[in-house]
Structure 1
Amino acid sequence: MKGWSRSRSELPEDLIMEILLQLPVKSLIRFNCVCKSWCCCFQTSNFIYKHHHINLENNRLNLLCTRAVGRPGPGKVILNYTQLSTEQDDFLSPKLDNQFTFFKDDGYPPDVLGPRNGLLFFYSYGQGKKSAIWNPSTREFKTLPPSSIQAPSPGYNSIDSAGFGFDSNTGDYKVIQFVDRVSLNFPSPDDEYTPPGYDFTVELYSLKTDSWKEIPFSGVFTDSYHNLCDTYVNGTCHWHAGKDPPPEHNPRILSFDMADEKFSTFPFPEFGGDLDYYWFQLLEFHGSLGIFIYPFQAPEKSFDLWVMNGEYTWTKQLCIDPIPRVENPLGFWKNGDLFLETPDHQLVLFEHRTGEVKRPGIKTSLCSMRVFAYAESLVRINGTSEHKGYVIRQPCIR
């Protein structure tokens, strides 16, 4: 076959790039040392975008389940994450089980948001109130700078809600957080005692500038923004925001556009039930905002999924018949299958077509778990490599 052999340098450059785009992140990181041109190419926004988009198109997804284990108290709570196998013949069997000791000295399990182009965001509720962005594919980890909001007294600021998103106009990753500043109102000699109140402030973090800034916000709801986890769809974060002021008391959804940095609100779907007897769960459904509505006291819960289309109009997309011994929906997987959580905090997968419920034996001891399906990404966050202060990559006790 003499004459047919060709060296690497003789292969068309376009063909080489197409081959490299199909490779996993671990291989691309190793190939950084092959030649300088490859190393530079892997860092360009065009290559990073194409690589991630190809992974999404081909459903090359990794599945992470996060859960808190241990007992409340300083240094006793860790966030454990389990990578689940997505192979057809071994689905939902644990593939890799690791301990994630995110800011363990706070004594509280962190919340997790994402993924956003393969990135996850962590933030804690303890006295330190630290936060970080993590790329689990490249193992790059970036701790965010402290909040710019000054507390009236040390330790009084608390993160009530947060959101993590991508500004496609500038190519910037942003974090928004709602900060409660406890204000102690001391009475004057002529006034009666005034109980402590809350000074509500919103700030936005930019990864490009690595800094926070306060942004205008006018709260109009009587209830707190009690859904701490955002639902991110097409560049916009959404939260279950509470209710309109009296006399309407209608539940509302708060949204924040990461590009124009503006808030908006719109109503829940009119599902015909009594709001006092139902839970609501926002989620992303095939690129649109969806909301599960389900009774919170029924022994076997049924789930109605409403999806937003057009100008804040809702359509009932599907109704899932009552499923025994489940509590909360966690999100969709492939083929319409649904991840759910049981009352004792175990993970289950409901196969929509067969009605079968699979239980991989994963549970949490402290609070609700989260499930994240993400595609590998080369996105750089200007952070540092993982170290033992944050991630312990070793099997942990279930």
Structure 2
Amino acid sequence: MNTSVSLSENMNSFEKGNGFFPDDVVDQILARLPIKSLFRFKCVCKFWYRLPSNKYFIQLYNEISLRNPMVLVEILKSVYIKSNFICTDSLSCFSEFSLDFLSDRVKVRASCNGLLCCASIPNRGVYYVCNPMTREFRMLPSRERPVSRYHPDDEATLVGLAVDPYTQKYNVVLAGFYRPFGRRPLDCLVCVVFNSETNTWKRFISSAGDGFTHMNRNQVVFASGSLHWLTISCLYILVLDLYSEVWKKIPLPGEIVNSYGRGNRIYLLELEGAVSVIQISADWMSIWVLKDYVREEWLLADRVSLRCIKAFIPSAFPISQNRDFVFLATQRQILIYGRRNKVWKELYSVRTATAYPLWFSAHAFRSTLFSCRQNLEYC
């Protein structure tokens, strides 16, 4: 009798849009399913049919997903053929999909909390934000192009995507350099920011700037309400505060700065909501975390021996991580390192001879029910 009353109250709570009780066992089980399986089970009953659109369940699913990072790999067979994507997690669970629902040839420019920012290849200046798991997408509105020597509308030097799973809002940042006429040689940074809440772009100019290689300009991390890029000098991180619209710099740890250029490589990643830097040398991989964001204090979180994968060290590229695992992409393999059991494992390997290097097309990813559509109202 008590069980039926509890179930009835739970159903009434769902009908009113208040969600489920946090200790609901079914809720916790379904929140750990892949999105494809979750949508397949919608035909079981009306109760489960409404589940993926319930606000409480979306928040629960996203919170669980934040603790389970994944790696998204774009399989580039040819520049004339649309790419396929493979997504894998620490349990070697694979899911394959494409971006054909965009009806456009695109390339992925940024990834954040389950959403992708894609740039159209045939149509310059056209950008999309999509959730590849739910196949929802949003084409960003066109922008007024200012009359200047350079504007970051066609092909931005820096592209950033900031997705806040708690407020259900996101921002897209396009930034590029230009040199004003009639002035001394000074590169200014032109930046346009898209706000999903207002559906508008905002443009501003800053004198802060630095050089970026092709790889580190694509390593963008969203943390503490800011977007972060690693500069080519590897002396500091360039930060864009999305609230104050101000650029600033965070210096890297002194140990990294002093040893850079001696065969060491630096990579910028995210570690469970914090900014992280990974340094790879000939035999070691050091993981640093920005412990205090205000005081700019770094902490050496882990130091991993690379003797077991010595043949892959020259092409090892860290992609994603959490407190338990580190995902790395090489020329043809996706590797995972268990920080607790200290075991290396191969998750994926390319067998074809025409494939591009995986580290060139791998992105950090999470499975999420976050919707990128405009004016979406939850049940």
TM above 0.5: yes
Equivalent residue for 1:328, pick from 313, 316, 341? 316
8 Å CA contact retained: 2:39, 2:52: no
Note the alpha carbon deviations across 1:239-296, whole angstroms, 9 max, x for none: 01344xxxxxx7221112233332221211111314363321011123321101224x
1:199 and 1:284, CA in 2 relative to 1: closer, same or farther beyond 3 A? closer
Q: 1:347 maps to which residue?
A: 334
Stretches of structure 1 that go unaligned for 5 or more consecutive residues are 188-195, 244-249, 385-398
Q: Which amino acid aligns with 1:69?
A: L
Q: Give the aligned partner of residue 356 of structure 1.
A: 344
Preserved CA contact (<8 Å) 1:165 1:232: yes
3-state SS of paired residue (2:243): coil
The separation in 2 between residues aligned to 1:176 and 1:132, in whole angstroms, is 12
Q: Which amino acid aligns with 1:177?
A: L
Match of 2:366 among 374, 377, 384: 374
Contact kept? 1:140, 1:383, Cα under 8 Å? no
Closer/same/farther in 2, CA of residues 281 and 128 from structure 1, 3 Å limit = same
Residue 111 (str. 1) matches residue 104 (str. 2): no
**1:291 alignment partner, one of 277, 281, 286:** 277
Give the whole-Å Cα distance in 1 for the aligned partners of 2:168 and 2:370: 14
Match of 2:251 among 267, 272, 276: 267
CA contact under 8 A between 1:166 and 1:173: conserved in structure 2? Answer: yes
| Cα separation, partners in 2 of 1:135 and 1:359, compared to 1, 3 Å | closer
Map residues 1-398 of structure 1 onto 2, 5 A cutoff: 6=4, 10-12=8-10, 13-14=12-13, 17-18=20-21, 19=24, 21-22=27-28, 23-24=30-31, 26-27=38-39, 30=42, 34=46, 42=53, 44=55, 48-53=58-63, 55-56=64-65, 59=67, 61=68, 63-72=70-79, 76-84=80-88, 91-92=91-92, 95-101=94-100, 109-115=107-113, 118-124=114-120, 128-150=124-146, 157-166=154-163, 172-180=169-177, 200-221=189-210, 226-243=216-233, 251-271=235-255, 272-275=258-261, 277-295=263-281, 298=282, 301-310=283-292, 311-322=295-306, 323-326=309-312, 327-333=315-321, 336-342=324-330, 344-352=331-339, 353-362=341-350, 365-367=355-357, 368-382=360-374
Return the alpha-carbon distance in structure 1 between the equivalents of residues 145 and 244 of structure 2: 22
1:168 and 1:376 map into 2 onto residues whose CA distance is 9
Shift of 1:167: 5.9
Alpha-carbon deviations, 1:127-186, whole Å to 9, x = none? 624321112343211111234334769998421111111468975311111134698x8x
Deviations 1:337-384 (CA, angstroms, capped at 9, x unpaired): 221122x23212233424333242247823513243424324352299
Structure 2: distance between partners of 1:203 and 1:337: 35
For structure 2, the 5+ residue unaligned runs are none
Task: Please tell me whether the aligned partners of residues 78 and 104 of structure 1 are also in contact (alpha carbons under 8 angstroms).
Answer: no
In the alignment, the residues of structure 2 paired with residue 302 and residue 374 of structure 1 have an alpha-carbon distance, to the nearest angstrom, of 27
Distance 2:274 2:123 in 1: 36
Which AA in structure 1 matches 2:302? L
Contact 1:62 1:84 in 2 (8 A): no
Worse-matched range after superposition: 349-358 or 201-210: 349-358
Q: How far apart, in 2, do the equivalents of 1:133 and 1:383 lie?
A: 15
- Residue 123 (structure 1) shift: 3.0
Count matched residues: 345
* Counterpart-to-counterpart distance in 1, 2:166 and 2:349: 43
2:269, 2:275 within 8 Å by CA — same for their partners in 1? Answer: yes
User: Percent identity over the alignment?
Assistant: 15
Cα drift, residue 124 of structure 1? 5.0
RMSD: 4.2
Question: 2-side partners of 1:85 and 1:307: how far apart?
Answer: 22
Following superposition, the deviation at residue 102 of structure 1 comes to 8.2
Query: Deviation per CA, 1:181-235, whole angstroms, max 9, x where unpaired?
Result: 698x8x9xxxxxxxx9977411000112222110232224366785223112232
AA partner of residue 319 (structure 1): R
In 1, Cα distance between the equivalents of 2:121 and 2:188?
Answer: 17
Contact preservation (8 Å) 2:161, 2:173: yes
Q: Larger helix proportion, structure 1 or 2?
A: 2
Structure 2 residue matching 1:275: 3-state secondary structure: coil
Q: Cα 1:80–1:145, aligned 2, differ >3 Å: closer, same or farther?
A: same
Larger radius of gyration: 1
| Alpha-carbon distance between aligned partners in 2 of 1:163 and 1:346, rounded to the nearest angstrom | 26
Q: What amino acid sits opposite 2:97 in the alignment? A: N
Q: For residues 324 and 214 of structure 1, what CA distance do their matches in structure 2 show?
A: 46
**Structure 2 equivalent of residue 395 of structure 1:** none
Hey, what's the Cα distance between the residues in 2 that align with 1:163 and 1:374? Answer: 17
Does structure 1 conserve the Cα–Cα contact (< 8 Å) formed by 2:289 and 2:301?
Answer: yes
